[in-house]
Structures are given as structure tokens and as C-alpha cells.
């Protein structure tokens, strides 16, 4: 792989988009490599992923404008599909994904962070959807995910004005969960991921699915989705160990050593 690095640290996998000369902009090769990296994640030994960008200036400065500038309609459609497929793969990935946004998150960069479950960022992070200034609409889910995350009014303001926002404003509107000094960001992401990884993996996966799927339907249907995924946890080693530890008052036995069980 030329533009993606993957490192596993315990139960946590760290995916780094590594194209700093172009501020980690997403060209076709980056998208292909990201897709292949996600396909290769070992779901037996990994419990959470972190997505970040190489260098200290940019998470992802958007889709690659140079590559896009010469696309025909058909090629533009194919590029959009490639991006959307990878973003959707991230969004529906069985494991929680934390975006550690270390600088610019513009256009496709903001959009890829929104395909992750949780966003935290560095103090120098800048978010924005500048597409209308380039003569296009946000095309990697920006019109849909931003409105769901921060509300339609704020999303429309950001998208129509193409104005970038800084980390503190991203925090204020709920686009990111926390802001850290740049040098602490990755450690904080790893700490959060380790906290997730210490919990029952089947339960965590089912929570992600319940929240994601439930948000697409009305409350009556959402509750049925929740019931199914709740029931699905029973008879697992995790459920037996987790409840058994509580009843035996044995906090030391926690769930940390229970490997992922497919039942």
C-alpha cells in the first residue's frame, strides 16, 4: 500500500491516510487502498478502529481536486460511487470507528469523518464543506450526514456558505465530541478505543447496528430492531461472563480476556 498504513495495537486498529504532500486528499488509489484495508481487518482480534491522517496539518483536505477536474460525467459517477461505497463500508463496519481529526477536514475529509461513529479533533482542526465554491454539491454523503449530525439549519448554513469552521465551533455544534492539543489527539483516541475494547465485543457491535439501523426507521420499528439485537446478546460467552462477574462480585474477571465469539 502506498497511501494507507495500518497498525494494530492490542484490540485497536489504527488506519492512517498517508499522503501528506497532498494534505491526504482522497484520490482513487487512496479510496481503493482504504477499501482493501477495511476488508483485511481481522474481526476476531480487533474491537475498535481509529482513522486519522498523516502529518500535523491535515486529516483529509477533501477529494482530490486535480483528479476530479478532468473527469467526464461517467467517470465522475464512478468516482462518486467508489467514495460512497467506502464511506458506507466505514459507517456500517461491524466495529466502532473513531475519527481522530488532526487538521483540515474539508469536503470529502469532513464527510469521511462523518462516516465514522465518533469524531474527536485537534485544536488546529478545520471543518468545512467547500463544494459549492467548486461548482459541485457535497457528494460523499455530506448533505445527508451533516444534517443528521448537527441539524438541518446549521448544515445548510455550512454547506450554502462554504464557510470553514474551527475546532471550537465544531465542538459547540456537536460535530465533534472533544477537542485536544494536537500532540495528545492520537493518545486520546487510543484511550477511548481501549475503553470501548474493554467492553463486550458482541454487545458493542450490536449497539452500533441498533443505533445506525434504528435511526433510519420510525420508533416502533426501531424498538423491534433493538429487541432483536438485545436478544442476540444472550447465550454469548460475554453475556454469561459479564453478568456472572457481577453476581459473583468479581470485578477482576471483567471482559477483557474474553475473545470475540461468533456464538
The CB-based long-range contact list for 242-246 (8 Å cut-off, 24+ gap) reads 242/200, 242/203
Task: Given the residues 2, 7, 111, 183, select the one marked as catalytic.
Answer: 111
* 190 vs 48: CA distance, rounded Å: 9
> C-beta of 137: minimal distance to ligand DAK in Å?
8
Contact 164, 130 (CB under 8 A): yes
Least CB distance to ligand DAK at residue 158 (A): 13
- Is residue 237 part of the annotated active site? The answer reads no
Among the options 75, 131, 184, 248, which is catalytic?
131
Residue 250: helix, strand or coil by DSSP?
coil
- Residue number, 127 or 260, with CB nearest to ligand DAK: 127
Q: Which is nearer to ligand DAK, 61 or 207 (CB)?
A: 61
Q: Give least dist CB 35 to ligand DAK, A.
A: 15
Cβ nearer to ligand DAK, comparing 110 with 192: 110
Instruction: Report in angstroms how near the CB of residue 165 gets to ligand DAK at its nearest.
Output: 13
Give the CA radius of gyration of the chain: 19
235 catalytic? Reply is no
| 254 CA to centre of own chain | 27
- Is the CB of 25 or the CB of 54 nearer to ligand DAK? 25
The count of other CB atoms within 10 Å of the CB of residue 168 is: 12
Max CA distance (Å), the chain:
65
- Residues at the contact surface with ligand DAK, assessed by CB under 6 A: 22-23, 25, 61-66, 68, 76, 79-80, 83, 104, 106-108, 130-131, 134, 136, 139-140
Mention every residue, 6+ apart, whose C-beta is less than 8 A from residue 124.
Answer: 56, 57, 102, 103, 167, 182
Give the length of the chain.
Answer: 263
* Catalytic residue positions, numbered: 111, 131
Amino acid at each position: 500500500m502506498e497511501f494507507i498504513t495500518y497498525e494494530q495495537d492490542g484490540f485497536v486498529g489504527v488506519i492512517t491516510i498517508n499522503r501528506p504532500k497532498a494534505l491526504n486528499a482522497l484520490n482513487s488509489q487512496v479510496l481503493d487502498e482504504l477499501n482493501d484495508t477495511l476488508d483485511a481487518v481481522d474481526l476476531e482480534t480487533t474491537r475498535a478502529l481509529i482513522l486519522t491522517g498523516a502529518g500535523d496539518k491535515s486529516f483529509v483536505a477533501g477529494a482530490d481536486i486535480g483528479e476530479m477536474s478532468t473527469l467526464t460525467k461517467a467517470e465522475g459517477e464512478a468516482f462518486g460511487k467508489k467514495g460512497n461505497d467506502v464511506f458506507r463500508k466505514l459507517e456500517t463496519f461491524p466495529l466502532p470507528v473513531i475519527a481522530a481529526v488532526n487538521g483540515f477536514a474539508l469536503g470529502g475529509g469532513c464527510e469521511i469523518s462523518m462516516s465514522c461513529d465518533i469524531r474527536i479533533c485537534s485544536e488546529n482542526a478545520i471543518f468545512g464543506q467547500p463544494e459549492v465554491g467548486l461548482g459541485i454539491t457535497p457528494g460523499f454523503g455530506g448533505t445527508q450526514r451533516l444534517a443528521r449530525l448537527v441539524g438541518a439549519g446549521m448544515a445548510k448554513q455550512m454547506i450554502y456558505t462554504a464557510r470553514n469552521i474551527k475546532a471550537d465551533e465544531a465542538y459547540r455544534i456537536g460535530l465533534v465530541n472533544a477537542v485536544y492539543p494536537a500532540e495528545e489527539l492520537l493518545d486520546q483516541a487510543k484511550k477511548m478505543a481501549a475503553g470501548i475494547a474493554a467492553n463486550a465485543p458482541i454487545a458493542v457491535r450490536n449497539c452500533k447496528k441498533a443505533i445506525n439501523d434504528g435511526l433510519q426507521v420510525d420508533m416502533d420499528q426501531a424498538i423491534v430492531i433493538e429487541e432483536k439485537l438485545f436478544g442476540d446478546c444472550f447465550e454469548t460467552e460475554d453475556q454469561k461472563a459479564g453478568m456472572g462477574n457481577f453476581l459473583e462480585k468479581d470485578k477482576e474477571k471483567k471482559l477483557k480476556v474474553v475473545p470475540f465469539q461468533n456464538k
